[in-house]
Structure 1
Amino acid sequence: MDSCERRISEFWDRELIRDCLYRYCRGIDRADEAMLRSACWPGGTDDHGAYKGTTDGFIDWAMQTLPQIERGIHQLHNILIELRGDEAAVESYFTALQRQPGGEGGLVELVMHGRYVDRFEKRGDEWRVADRLVVFDWVEQRPAPDESEAERFAHRKSVGRPWPDDPVYRVFGAGRQ
């Protein structure tokens, strides 16, 4: 492979890794189990702080936890990728906003900033997370406003929903990877 072909291949690998990270975020925010599973290799590890175990176990845990979260938004920022053959070290900065039940009753809003520190593996032509460590750099928790969704969103429509009711699935279709 000449230098130009190698650079194009590396660029493509980086793009596939970014796409996988974005699938993970949609999977979490839309409670889309198939999308989540498409981002992680079975049998890998995941340390989210509140959960530590296998990637399969994390997804099972998340699918039980996500219905309790009224609203969730995960955004990615800086993404650093170090390719190492069929593996990659990836650090992705994130912001996560969640409105969910608090420990003492009532709803709270969590604002979390941190990094996903991932080891990706390429199997065939596909990159997925093999091992993940979530590093929290900033967390804020505050009581959620008492307003209902109708009051909070007022005329702002469409409003995000879990899978399969979110408007994105009308655009992307039922096939989710």
Structure 2
Amino acid sequence: MSGQASLQALLDREAIRDCLYRYCRGIDRCDEAALRSAYWEDATDCHGAWNGSAEGFIAQALGKLRQGGRRVHQITNVLIELHGDTAAVESSFFALQSTAALPQQQTFLCGRYVDRFERREGQWRVAARTVVYDWIEECARPELAQDDAALFGPRQPNGRAAPDDLVYRLLEDIHRDESAASRR
């Protein structure tokens, strides 16, 4: 592989990883724009009980997630096989979550996103996703039903949905600084 081809492969892999991480932010922060930016408009998603369009998955997931609860998704062991403008991507995930309906019920999931990524107009996004579940553990955690002040105590700030999470303030500050610098 030539130096230019090797560099392009590294850039492609990094763009795919960035897309995977945007998906996690979208799910964990209920950030619709981040979530949509991870999928092509015509993408499909087989996500446990959901099997259909990614658009339908996003609408269904955000409807539930916006009701409340807590969730953290972590991506590990990302394997990317590039084939031109298509990539086979296997990403292990850990997800810890609760819902508004059962805040004291904790679900720990481990599995893999088995994704077909496609590069279109220079961007990599998921064209087809199948979630493979490798582990589930559910347990009652009554303390999770407490409000944030009682649950976290002095451990502040706490994660929030978009746009109230601290990361969005950071991004606003950086964009404002960039705008000010470009006007100088």
2:2 maps to amino acid? S
CA separation in 1, counterparts of 2:163 and 2:116?
A: 30
CA separation in 2, counterparts of 1:13 and 1:34?
A: 21
CA separation in 2, counterparts of 1:133 and 1:106?
A: 27
Name 2:126's counterpart in structure 1. 129
Q: Any idea what the Cα deviations from partners look like across 1:82-136, whole Å, max 9, x if unmatched?
A: 001000000000000002256xx66310000000000000001100000000000
* TM-score normalised by length of structure 1: 0.92
Q: How does 1:77-116 map to 2 (within 5 A)?
A: 77-101=76-100, 107-116=104-113
Q: Which runs of 5+ in 1 are unaligned?
A: none
Name 1:74's counterpart in structure 2. 73
The number of residue pairs the alignment matches comes to 172
SS in 2 for 1:161: coil
Name 1:118's counterpart in structure 2. 115
Contact 2:86 2:118 in 1 (8 A): yes
Change (3 A) 1:13 1:106: closer
Larger deviation, residues 145-154 vs 107-116 = 145-154
Q: CA deviation at 1:173?
A: 2.3
1:47 maps to amino acid? C
Q: How does 1:25-104 map to 2 (within 5 A)?
A: 25-101=24-100
Q: CA deviation at 1:69?
A: 4.2
CA separation in 2, counterparts of 1:145 and 1:76?
A: 27
SS in 2 for 1:93: strand
Q: CA deviation at 1:172?
A: 1.3
CA separation in 2, counterparts of 1:54 and 1:173?
A: 32
CA separation in 2, counterparts of 1:60 and 1:6?
A: 38
Task: Return structure 1 stretches of 4+ with deviation > 3 angstroms.
Answer: none
2:9 maps to amino acid? E
Cα RMSD for the two superposed structures: 1.6
Greater share of residues in helix: 2
Contact 2:65 2:99 in 1 (8 A): no
Contact 2:92 2:113 in 1 (8 A): yes
Q: CA deviation at 1:44?
A: 1.2
Larger deviation, residues 9-18 vs 142-151 = 142-151
1:16 maps to amino acid? A
CA separation in 1, counterparts of 2:156 and 2:99?
A: 21
Q: CA deviation at 1:63?
A: 1.1
Q: Which runs of 5+ in 2 are unaligned?
A: 176-184
Contact 1:40 1:129 in 2 (8 A): yes
CA separation in 1, counterparts of 2:16 and 2:152?
A: 34
Q: Any idea what the Cα deviations from partners look like across 1:25-55, whole Å, max 9, x if unmatched?
A: 0000000001100000011110011211001
SS in 2 for 1:100: coil
CA separation in 2, counterparts of 1:143 and 1:100?
A: 12
Q: Provide the identity percentage.
A: 51
SS in 1 for 2:156: coil
